[in-house]
Amino acid sequence: MEGLKEIDKAYITMPKGFKANGISADLKGNNALDVALIISDVPCNVAGTYTSNLVKGHSLVRSIDVINQNNKIRGIIVNSKNANACVGQVGYDDACDIAKTVASEIGCNENEILTASTGVIGSRLPADKIKAVIPELVKSLSIDEQAAHNAELAMMTTDTVPKEVSASVTLKNGKQVTISGMAKGSGMIHPNLATMIGIFTTDADIDSKVLNTLIHNAVKHTFNRVSVDGDTSVCDMVIVMANGESGVTIEEGTEDFTIFDEALTSLANDIAQMIASDGEGATKFIEIEVYGAKNEADAKLIVTSVARSPLCKTAFFGMDANCGRIITAVGYSGADFDPNKVDLDLSGLPVYRNGCAIDFDEDLAHELLTKHDINVKITLHEGEAYDRMYTCDFSYDYVKINGSYRS
């Protein structure tokens, strides 16, 4: 059957022709993995989406420059612990130096290597430490599952679980391609995008312009609908690399395009849910849905407003069916609606109808709210627009993690 088929295992080198590994450059200390490298055997097309923050990290700015040159690339090097941001021209130069070192070991041009950094902002990147381990890292590149997991582990900062997905996609006439994705992201997470680095690989052959359409479609209602704390970071990027090693070409406007588009979006959605679920200090995964908004803009305003409300997020942590706080956040969202028509359901339980709180079984509500996954459904009865956002609760641990993260 056509479409996406999830595979039991999930790692970034499942598509043909990709190798990866992670290594410790002693950035985090304790020999923890902190530098990741993903390389395609052959030059591949690439497309990406980036943070909307006016302040952008230097490694990211360099990658955007490279991608805008519209060349094929060979891969990407990522370091954690230091965001390489807000340090001036040296930060850009450091990213170039690192790319140059990788390129010389791989045997390619420095503009075929993307760079990404995540971690603390405002400290000079210890580029020498990273450059020193690159020869060994390049030698260790492998298609092995563990090597691929190492790459993921090396990207993680405050993440508590790895975030990896893989699927095989069956196209028309039985042709098959594979897509894998991996991401890091836990705090400083808010749409467009987040302290989030997402990397997808595929062995499909896809033109970079088509790939650009596909990655933008995929992030729109997935990565761009995750909010952990409302803070949009300076280093976020989601890229997809397509090396064509499957021999299968996907062109815009075809049925195969649609199948691939849905598959990539579905995998992006899986990762988006993992990120919200692993939000800093999170004890709950919360899906905020709005139905019946006047238009798409209003729908987005409402889910965003509820998802970033500290009062709603602490109430979820307290497992309190506090519909007043949710309705308040809906009210100040800036969306236009009649407050007397609003309905609200918490994990399927009606708690608010026609602008009024209604009696509900508090014990049942509490039972529903003790579950890990919570659904908030807001219905406006104004129009047909729908949106959805993933978030998590605000816990003591969020404060603990972020009251002491830098040092």
Q: What positions carry a catalytic annotation?
A: 195
For a second copy, the closer of residues 78 and 380 by Cβ is: 380
Tokens 């950094």 locate to: 117
In the complex, the smallest distance separating the C-beta of residue 340 from a second copy, rounded to whole angstroms, is: 8
Dig out the tokens for 165 from the structure: 């997905």
Tokens 């195969």 locate to: 256
Amino acid identity of residue 131, one-letter, is K
Residues, the chain:
407
In the complex, the smallest distance separating the C-beta of residue 241 from a second copy, rounded to whole angstroms, is: 27
For a second copy, the closer of residues 10 and 288 by Cβ is: 288
For a second copy, the closer of residues 247 and 324 by Cβ is: 324
CB atoms within 10 A of CB 253: 8
For a second copy, the closer of residues 112 and 278 by Cβ is: 278
For a second copy, the closer of residues 192 and 258 by Cβ is: 192
* Residue 330: half-sphere exposure toward Cβ, Cα within 13 Å: 26
Alpha-carbon distance of 406 to 123, in angstroms, equals: 10
Amino acid identity of residue 402, one-letter, is N
Dig out the tokens for 334 from the structure: 């800036």
Contact 66, 142 (CB under 8 A): no
In the complex, the smallest distance separating the C-beta of residue 210 from a second copy, rounded to whole angstroms, is: 30
Alpha-carbon distance of 161 to 186, in angstroms, equals: 10
Distances in Å between the Cα of 38 and the Cα atoms of 106, 171, 238, 290, 341 are 11, 26, 14, 38, 52
Interaction site with a second copy (CB under 8 A): 51-56, 83, 85-88, 120-123, 187-188, 190, 229-234, 308-311, 314-315, 317-318, 320, 322-325, 327-332, 335-337, 339, 342, 352, 354-357, 394-396, 398-400, 402-407
Helices and strands per DSSP (H, E), number in the chain:
11, 16
Alpha-carbon distance of 123 to 397, in angstroms, equals: 25
Helix (H, G, I), strand (E, B) or coil at 3: strand
Alpha-carbon distance of 24 to 2, in angstroms, equals: 41
Alpha-carbon distance of 292 to 125, in angstroms, equals: 48
In the complex, the smallest distance separating the C-beta of residue 89 from a second copy, rounded to whole angstroms, is: 9
For a second copy, the closer of residues 24 and 277 by Cβ is: 277
In the complex, the smallest distance separating the C-beta of residue 242 from a second copy, rounded to whole angstroms, is: 30
Q: What are phi and psi of 217, to 5 degrees?
A: -60, -45
For a second copy, the closer of residues 9 and 124 by Cβ is: 124
In the complex, the smallest distance separating the C-beta of residue 132 from a second copy, rounded to whole angstroms, is: 24
Helix (H) or strand (E) holding 39: strand 35-50
In the complex, the smallest distance separating the C-beta of residue 332 from a second copy, rounded to whole angstroms, is: 4
